[in-house]
């Protein structure tokens, strides 16, 4: 058995070296069209570059229709005894949530809350992009620095509402504070989706960069989780002279070096990861089983998002079950074993429904899911952004229950200036939403290190 393992390891090493011959030194990153048009063709050349105030509106007509759909949804098939959330959303809990949304969710109060932060819309490359922008009030000697926050799926700008006041208020021990810009990704919430195929994470990175330029920021800091993390990775690769630093709570490097190391660690974990963190990566059979069991949604959305979208945009009960199941398991996987899915472990019912309203009110679930198909298209996979190096200073926040984990040396195979890694013994995929204070503290710590990095570089 030991001989077979050695033979298999040698084979893996040989294959990896062969594959890596043309990928370890890939040269300069690709150059994307910075003006690629994603809106209606007949509007090209008529770009309105104004920045317009925006308010979220829960109209009486929409609320009436929503309540009717929630009250009259078809009763789901009974759940299996003891299955809890292991087969998906526990149908036995559905009526509680639909009743709460219809009868107890305070629509007017939540609309006012969601509008408590200043919001705007501006047209970038043919698409109206919605964003929150909060400028801090500062005292003398305090520097204001721009920070772009990017969400993912099935989240929204709602994830950052508790963190934004903390980011825009000066914290003791820091001589800077953030101007925060939080866009809805194209096709999410109140940002328009593309009218033609091709808008993947790299192209969204271009839109985000152009948005920041529109707002007067030629250089800025970025932060992202989920798709936001992948978009941040693209921006830190394509615009290395403009991104001052990248903080990510799902920083993953996918290149030949990281793949090779991951495979080697299956045989000798101690070479790759500290023993107390080994269970976050190994055994690979556990990781593969997790992918097979939990990533069916990914395959559906990467192949037939519009089919799934028909059901989810027609039924608020279906949308609720589909999205809240992710807030259950992606916060803690063991929540699948709880009858209620542990949904109120870190979130209130109003917080979770606020996020659902971002999708329902805007009818954006279909356009949001298309990002999976666009990013997995042959054209966008060929860009292979992950294999290009970046000198942008980076910082990783690694929650205990995040979907993926990589040790620092794997991340450094792309990010030579990885300045810090924070490993948490708590938290999950939606860390800014779950633990806003912990999230903000880490962003502050990272940006302080980024600023010192640039200061030292300038002095040299």
- State pLDDT tens for residues 396-455: 999 999 989 999 999 999 999 999 999 999 999 999 999 999 999 999 999 999 999 999
Q: How many CA atoms lie within 13 A of 120 on its CB side?
A: 16
The H or E element that residue 143 is part of is strand 143-150
Which residue is catalytic, options 226, 233, 354, 442? Answer: 226
HSE-CB for 379 with a 13 A CA cutoff: 10
Top pLDDT among 12 and 119 is at: 119
Across the range 139-159, mean pLDDT stands at 96
Lowest mean pLDDT among 162-171, 176-185, 197-206, 285-294: 285-294
pLDDT, position 460: 67
- Output the pTM of the full model: 0.93
Asked if pLDDT for residue 5 goes beyond 80, the answer is: no
Q: For residues 272 and 281, give the distance between their C-alpha atoms in angstroms, rounded to a whole number.
A: 10
Neighbours of 326 (CB within 10 A): 17
- Whether 372 is catalytic is yes
Say if residues 431 and 439 touch (Cβ distance below 8 Å). Answer: yes
Sequence-distant (6+) residues with CB within 8 A of 230 are 201, 224, 250, 375
For the chain, what percent of residues have pLDDT higher than 90? 81
> Catalytic: which of 105, 221, 372, 388?
372
């Amino acid at each position: 058995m030991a001989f077979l393992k050695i033979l298999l390891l040698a084979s893996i090493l040989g294959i990896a070296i062969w594959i890596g011959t043309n990928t370890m030194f890939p040269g300069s990153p690709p150059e994307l069209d910075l003006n690629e048009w994603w809106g209606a063709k007949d509007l090209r050349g008529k770009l309105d570059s104004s920045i317009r105030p925006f308010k979220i509106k829960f109209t009486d007509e929409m609320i009436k229709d929503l309540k009717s759909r929630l009250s009259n949804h078809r009763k789901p098939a009974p759940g299996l005894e003891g299955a809890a959330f292991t087969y998906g959303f526990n149908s036995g809990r559905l009526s509680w949530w639909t009743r709460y949304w219809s009868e107890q969710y305070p629509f007017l109060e939540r609309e006012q809350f969601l509008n408590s932060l200043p919001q705007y819309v501006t047209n970038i490359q043919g698409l109206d992009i919605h964003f929150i922008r909060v400028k801090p009030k500062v005292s003398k000697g305090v520097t204001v620095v721009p920070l772009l926050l990017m969400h993912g799926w099935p989240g929204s700008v709602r994830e950052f509402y508790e963190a934004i006041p903390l980011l825009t208020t000066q914290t003791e021990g820091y001589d800077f504070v953030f101007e925060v810009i939080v866009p809805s990704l194209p096709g999410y919430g109140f940002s328009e989706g593309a009218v033609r195929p091709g808008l993947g994470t790299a192209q969204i990175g271009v839109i985000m960069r152009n948005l920041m330029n529109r707002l007067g920021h030629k250089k800025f800091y970025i932060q992202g989780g989920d798709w936001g993390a992948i978009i941040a990775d693209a921006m830190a690769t394509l615009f290395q002279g403009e991104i001052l630093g990248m903080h990510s709570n799902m920083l993953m490097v996918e290149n030949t070096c990281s793949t090779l190391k991951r495979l080697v660690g299956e045989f000798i974990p101690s070479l790759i990861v500290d023993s107390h963190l080994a269970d976050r990566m190994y055994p690979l059979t556990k990781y593969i089983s997790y992918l097979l069991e939990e990533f069916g949604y990914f395959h559906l959305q990467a192949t037939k998002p519009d089919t799934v979208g028909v059901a989810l945009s027609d039924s608020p009960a279906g949308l609720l079950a589909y999205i809240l199941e992710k807030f259950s398991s992606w916060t803690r996987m063991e929540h699948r074993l709880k009858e209620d899915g542990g949904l109120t472990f870190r979130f209130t019912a109003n917080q979770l429904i606020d996020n659902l309203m971002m999708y329902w009110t805007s009818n954006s679930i279909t356009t949001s899911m298309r990002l999976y198909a666009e990013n997995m298209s042959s054209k966008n996979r060929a860009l292979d952004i992950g294999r290009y190096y970046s000198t942008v200073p980076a910082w990783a926040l690694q929650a205990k229950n995040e979907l993926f984990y990589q040790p620092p040396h794997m991340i450094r195979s792309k990010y030579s200036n990885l300045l810090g890694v924070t490993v948490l013994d708590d938290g999950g995929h939606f860390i800014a939403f779950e633990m806003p204070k912990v999230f903000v503290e880490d962003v502050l710590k990272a940006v302080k290190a980024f600023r010192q990095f640039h200061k030292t570089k300038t002095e040299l």
